[in-house]
């Protein structure tokens, strides 16, 4: 018998012509099905522009305005008194429910106004902490009022009851134009 030459067996190749097509289709699939979270920002409803021909608004008594000033380091002044961000919630509640008892706070809840002013260098995080404390103060007032008036948690009130509660403790917040510190 003749000696057969041993030939090395060649490794078969995997056809890769369609690999690029498959990768491209997978890329398109993931791009189409992926959702991207979009930051919605702060949900504030701005008032309509003031008509230049309308009469000026009535004067506001200074005692009805709670002035909150925040510098870039997060230090807080409330009505020119040193305070802190966690204390804002209780001060807002006291200001709103004062009913004329303390001369430093509002005459009534419907006249209570908050003026918030921050330094231009104040971080977004500090601003949001201040804004959250203000909102939590109003939320706690509404929840307490709902329990006392309607005997039910705020979340379980009817739409009419919620509207009445929200109207009783309506958020009146003025955001003043920030200034550069040191100027």
Write down the domain spans for the chain.
62-173
Q: Give the gyration radius of the chain's Cα atoms.
A: 31
**Cα–Cα distance measured from residue 113 to residue 111, given in angstroms and rounded to the nearest whole number:** 6
Tens of pLDDT, residue by residue over 38-76, are: 776 777 777 788 888 989 888 889 999 999 999 988 899
pLDDT at 86: 94
Tens of pLDDT, residue by residue over 64-118, are: 999 999 998 889 999 999 999 999 999 999 999 998 888 889 999 889 999 999 9
The CATH number corresponding to 62-173 among 3.40.50.1110, 3.30.420.270, 2.20.25.10, 3.20.20.30 equals: 3.30.420.270
Which residue is it, tokens 């949001």? 128
Tens of pLDDT, residue by residue over 127-180, are: 999 999 999 999 999 999 999 999 999 999 999 999 999 999 999 998 887 766
pLDDT at 183: 44
Q: In this model, does residue 182 exceed pLDDT 60?
A: no
More confident residue, 6 or 38: 38
Nearest to 168 by CA among 97, 67, 65, 106: 97
**Cα–Cα distance measured from residue 135 to residue 120, given in angstroms and rounded to the nearest whole number:** 22
pLDDT at 180: 62
Strands 81-83 and 76-78: antiparallel
CB-CB contact of 169 with 142 (8 Å): yes
CB-CB contact of 58 with 29 (8 Å): no
pLDDT at 56: 87
pLDDT at 3: 55
Contacts of 157 (CB under 8 A, 6+ apart): 146, 150, 165
């Amino acid at each position: 018998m003749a000696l057969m030459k041993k030939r090395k067996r060649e490794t078969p190749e995997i056809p890769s012509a369609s690999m690029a097509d498959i990768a491209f289709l997978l890329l398109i699939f993931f791009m189409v099905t992926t959702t991207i979270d979009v930051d919605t920002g702060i949900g504030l409803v701005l008032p309509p522009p003031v008509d230049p021909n309308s009469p000026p608004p009535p004067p506001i008594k200074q005692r009805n305005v709670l002035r909150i000033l925040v510098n870039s380091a997060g230090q807080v002044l409330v009505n020119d008194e040193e305070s802190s961000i966690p204390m804002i919630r209780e001060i807002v509640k006291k200001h709103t429910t004062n009913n004329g008892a303390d001369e430093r706070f509002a005459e009534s809840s419907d006249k209570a106004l908050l003026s918030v002013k921050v330094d231009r260098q104040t971080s977004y995080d500090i601003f949001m902490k201040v804004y959250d404390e203000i909102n939590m103060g109003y939320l706690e007032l509404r929840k307490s009022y709902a329990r006392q008036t309607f005997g039910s948690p705020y979340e379980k009130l009817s739409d009419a009851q919620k509207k009445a509660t929200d109207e009783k403790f309506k958020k009146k917040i003025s955001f003043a134009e920030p200034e550069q510190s040191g100027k």
